[in-house]
């Protein structure tokens, strides 16, 4: 069996971007909540530590620590969003890729003159059972189509006057 290689990263942009957007939204909310909690924990720790100190530089130190925390948390959020986009598109390719391949195969199998090729998916893709069921369905359909065509040929031999009607039926199979 040939190994299937990824040729396109974005095969179904609508699905991949929707789920990636959802993933990013979820991550941003989680990061904002985590960042806010971390910020207040750190700030409360710093304030509680410096409460006993009676110097005029305490507020200046707290402002500097505050700026540093905001900068570091912003950088962390940006990094997580970029990594989330990358991983989301890659992970969701396991969903969008099979959907794209199944849809493409079904459309091709409906067109006349294009020989049906079974749906093959990569090892880690989703929807293996769906692809197998579609393959079985189309295989059984093709077998029944052959049997019906053979029976129609027998009918033509028995009733040559019905050849046109039977040919029309064969065309519509």
Give the contacts of 54 (CB within 8 A, at least 6 positions apart). none
The pLDDT assigned to 25 comes to: 83
Instruction: Write out the DSSP string of 47-91.
Output: HHHHTT---TTHHHHHHHHHHHHHHHHHHHHHHHHHHHHHHHHHH
The reported pTM is 0.56
Digit-by-digit pLDDT tens for the chain (173 residues) are 566 666 777 777 777 787 788 778 878 887 887 788 777 777 766 776 666 555 567 676 676 667 777 777 777 778 778 877 887 787 778 888 888 888 888 887 777 666 777 888 888 888 888 899 989 988 888 888 889 888 888 888 888 888 888 888 877 77
Enter the tokens of residue 98: 């099979």
The pLDDT assigned to 114 comes to: 65
The pLDDT assigned to 136 comes to: 92
Domain chopping of the chain, boundaries: 8-116, 127-173
38 closest CA partner among 77, 84, 83 = 77
Rounded CA separation 134/101 (Å):
12
């Amino acid at each position: 069996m040939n190994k299937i290689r990824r040729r396109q990263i974005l095969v179904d942009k609508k699905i991949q971007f929707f789920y990636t957007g959802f993933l990013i939204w979820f991550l941003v909310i989680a990061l904002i909540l985590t960042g806010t909690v971390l910020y207040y924990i750190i700030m409360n720790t710093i304030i509680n530590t410096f409460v006993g100190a009676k110097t005029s530089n305490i507020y200046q130190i707290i402002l500097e620590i505050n700026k540093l925390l905001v900068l570091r948390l912003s950088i962390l959020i940006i990094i997580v969003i970029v990594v989330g986009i990358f991983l989301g598109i890659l992970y969701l390719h396991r969903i969008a890729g099979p959907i794209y391949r199944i849809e493409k195969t079904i459309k091709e199998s409906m067109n006349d003159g294009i020989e049906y090729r079974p749906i093959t998916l990569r090892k880690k893709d989703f929807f293996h059972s769906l692809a197998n069921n579609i393959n079985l369905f189309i295989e059984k359909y093709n077998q029944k189509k052959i049997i019906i065509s053979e029976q129609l040929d027998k009918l033509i031999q028995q009733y040559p006057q019905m050849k046109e009607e039977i040919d029309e039926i064969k065309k519509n199979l």
